Amino acid sequence: MYEMVSFDIMLLALTKPGEAARSRYANAMARLTGRPQREFRDPRSSFDEPLFSALDQGSAQMVARTLGEAGALIEVRRSTTVARATGQLAPTDTCPSCGYVQPAGGTECGKCGLIFSKFEREQVQQMQQDRGLEEALSKAIKAREEWYQRANHYLGTHPLAPDATAGISEPVAVGELPFLRLNADEGPVLLTSRRIIATHRGQTLSIPYEMIEDVNFGGGLVAKKTKVRMQLVFRAPLVTSEGTAKSLTWQLDKESGFAKDVVMDWAFARNFMCGACGARDLEFRLEAEQNRFRCMHCATDHQIDLREALAIPASVQ
């Protein structure tokens, strides 16, 4: 049969002499027992008998820690009696910030000043934020997998040429699927399950579909009747070798121009979601050459990783 272990708390001495030490000890005992401090002003009367007897392990640890912090030298002994519920200990609260033990029912910590109700509200808010972050991450992973499958389905009817990535210096990431190449005077344009990798005036750009606000296709230049103009308009300026640009234009060859519906479909169907709450009401901006957005629903700031096509909440960077 299982035997419940209990413990006695013995007072051996105070680590420092003097009135201040006795006052700290009396204060700690008053908090633990709910009795007046004057009963504990002379600790010598407690040397022969246990301060507390037959405490369960959790209560014994709490008492030992509280008295130790108050400067009492104690000994925890295994009790000869079974742990029992007694009136030895008054109801107490332990500060979740500093561990200070005090009478139950107070509104703030008597040591560090923590306001318990405010702390509880913040804990609930943090739990809600953590749950929102987990749900948003789950949605993002699911969406990424769905777009990978969609790109794979497109390849089933429109196989990609073996040299489709030729001329593109940007590597394709693990788990990213290229599915369409466009040829333009400015350089090749590769559509993947995550982004557009495009060469423009000698620079390779990584453009998540979520960063595209508008796509415009039109007729070619007067001198180039066989060209189709493709203009991408961005939610926030992109950093290029020639500065920042809110939009960029490519002159596609005629065959690539036939894929304009695919480009528009992928761009218009995508949008970043807030990594904290999952909302899509976002305000984009360029800050110190970093693309960012703020969720207008929960005010969480995000930094955009253009290569990974991810929006990272500032709180988890």
- Tokens read off for 268: 């218009």
Q: State the number of CA atoms in the 13 A half-sphere of 165 facing the CB.
A: 10
| 263 within a domain of the structure (yes/no) | yes
What's the CA gap between 183 and 196, in Å, rounded? 13
Rounded to an integer, the average pLDDT of 83-104 is 76
Residue 52 lies in a domain: yes
CATH number of the domain that 41 lies in? 3.30.1390.10
Q: Say how far apart CA 101 and CA 199 lie, in whole Å.
A: 65
Q: Examine the domain organization and report whether 176 and 258 are in the same domain.
A: yes
Which of these, 5, 26, 7, lies nearest to 75 by C-alpha position?
7
- CB-CB contact of 227 with 185 (8 Å): yes
Confidence of residue 224 (pLDDT cuts 50, 70, 90): low
Count of structural domains, the chain:
2
Query: Is there a single domain that holds both residue 25 and residue 141?
Result: no
Averaged confidence pLDDT in the chain: 85
pLDDT at residue 252, as a whole number:
93
pLDDT in the model for residue 150: 93
- What does DSSP assign to residue 163? T
Q: What 3-state DSSP class applies to 267?
A: helix
pLDDT at 222 over 50: no
What's the pLDDT score for residue 86? 61
C-alpha span between 40 and 52 (Å, rounded):
13
Q: What is the CATH number of the domain that holds 311?
A: 2.30.29.30
Which residues have a Cβ under 8 Å from the Cβ of 181 and sit 6 or more positions away?
160, 161, 164, 165, 188, 189, 190, 191, 256
Average pLDDT over residues 100-128: 77
SS3 call for 208 = strand
The H or E element that residue 155 is part of is helix 116-157
Instruction: Determine the Cα–Cα distance for residues 8 and 86; give it in Å rounded to an integer.
Output: 13
Structural domain includes residue 2: no
**Measured distance CA(62)–CA(90) in Å, rounded:** 12
Do residues 297 and 149 both lie within one domain? yes
- Whether residues 89 and 130 fall in one domain: no
Q: Do both 81 and 189 map to the same domain?
A: no
Helix 57-69 to helix 19-33 angle (10° resolution) is 150
pLDDT score of 303 more than 70? yes
pLDDT number for residue 120:
75
The reply to whether 66 and 186 lie within a common domain is no
> Are 60 and 134 found together in one domain?
no
Q: What amino acid is encoded at 33 in this protein? A: T
Confidence of residue 152 (pLDDT cuts 50, 70, 90): very high
Per-residue pLDDT tens over the stretch 163-190: 998 888 888 888 899 999 999 999 999 9
CA of 74: how far to CAs of 31, 167, 243, 266, in Å?
Answer: 17, 76, 71, 71
- Does some domain include residue 120? no
- Is 1 domain-assigned? no
- Report d(CA 101, CA 25) in Å as an integer: 13
pLDDT of residue 52: 87
The range of the structural domain enclosing residue 75 comes to: 7-112
Whether 1 shows a pLDDT value over 50: the answer reads no
pLDDT-based confidence at residue 35 (cuts at 50, 70, 90):
confident
Mean pLDDT of 281-300: 89
For the cut 70, the answer to whether the pLDDT of residue 47 exceeds it is yes
For residues 198-212, average pLDDT:
92
